[in-house]
Amino acid sequence: MAMMGSSISKYLSISLIAVPSFILLLRFLAAFPLPPEDVAVYPSLASLPKDSRSWSIYPENFYEGGNYVRFPFGRVRYWLFGPEDGQKIVLVHGLSVPAIIWKDVAPQLAGKGFRVLVYDLYGRGYSDAPNMSYSGCLYTTQLALLMQHVHWERAHIGGGIATSFAATFPNLTTGKVALIASTGIMESSDLSRTSKVMSSPVVQYIASSGIVHFFLQRLGAGEPSPNPIHEIVRIQSAFLPGYNNALASSLRHGPLRGLQSSFTTLSELKSDLLLIWGTADNTVPYRYAAKIQGLVPNSTLLTVQGGHHDLTVSHPDIVANALINFFHSSK
């Protein structure tokens, strides 16, 4: 009797402790659902049939030293070339065109003794497109992961996302940062009409829900273009299911705007900035160069008279020489 009584009270006290905590656990799980098993990942140019023009314009082995690495948010394509003991530099492409944009610049740097790392950002070229927000965080961690993968402790950096990367991971860079007509402090009034449409919540919804493609696919709907750069943009937009979302999300959440504080950080870190800008840039107008100089006094501006936004393609020698001189003058 006494034993039974004590075991009943034992059960009772266990259930008094266990049941409420079980309920609390359920409530907790309901309030903070476990993350979905996996973020959906859309395929890259690597998924296109071999007769797609992308394979002849921008093949997987466009540069030497190509490789894939699998990261938590998908597979990433990178190329590593130039003398192994050269100064390390990573070149990052911009919003819509993958690493092909460095076609006439990167080989010149390698030829001048630099060890060059180029890669495709998530959602572009041969890198997979995770179905998520294309924030500065996604981009900077992609590069940090890539640098640990290739065992680079620090490197010079030039191109897209260079500002947020150098401000977020100063110890992974040499403090020398080159920006080529970079976005970062764009005002929405200057984002082109398309970009404004693309970055609106409605189009975000359309792009991410996959209901309608026609809006964004206008980018990809045109005739095949004889211009290889335009053609790669068209093919990505028309045939890669994650590309339009990657662009739209980058415009909305990515490091195109709101980088004032990153520039201030670079200034406090005493970073050395090289700005290369065309006077006829109607994507990121030339006056932004002066704005950035206002934020980072230790910056040098190279003006390309009459240059448009695509300076690495239109003026590769000017860009390559400027990068070589800028980065050579350091340890």
Q: Which residues contact ligand NAG (rule: CB under 6 A)? A: 40, 131, 171, 208-209, 270, 272, 298
Beta carbon of residue 237, minimum distance to ligand NAG (angstroms, whole number):
18
CA gap 310, 273 in Å, rounded = 19
- The two beta strands, 74-81 and 115-119, are antiparallel
- Closer Cβ to ligand NAG, 57 or 145, answer by number: 145
The nearer residue to ligand NAG, 171 or 189, going by C-beta atoms, is 171
Q: How far does Cα 276 stand from its chain's mean position? A: 20
Residue 222 Cβ vs ligand NAG, minimum distance, rounded to whole Å: 26
Nearer to ligand NAG, 127 or 204 (CB): 204
Q: Which two tokens stand for residue 318?
A: 């000017």
Q: How far is the CB of 58 from ligand NAG (least distance, A)?
A: 26
**Two structure tokens written together for 58:** 């921008």
**Of residues 151 and 270, the one with the C-beta less far from ligand NAG:** 270
Nearer to ligand NAG, 272 or 281 (CB): 272
The neighbouring-strand residues paired with 41 are 130
Nearby residues of 193 by Cβ (< 8 Å), 6 or more positions away:
none
CB of 298 to ligand NAG, least distance (A): 4
Nearest distance from C-beta of residue 107 to ligand NAG, angstroms: 26
**Closest to 243 in 3D by CA, of 38, 92, 43:** 43
Sign for the CA dihedral angle at 210, 215, 221, 226 comes to negative
Please give the residue whose beta carbon sits closest to ligand NAG in the complex: 40
Distances (CA, A) of 302 to 23, 120, 129: 64, 26, 34
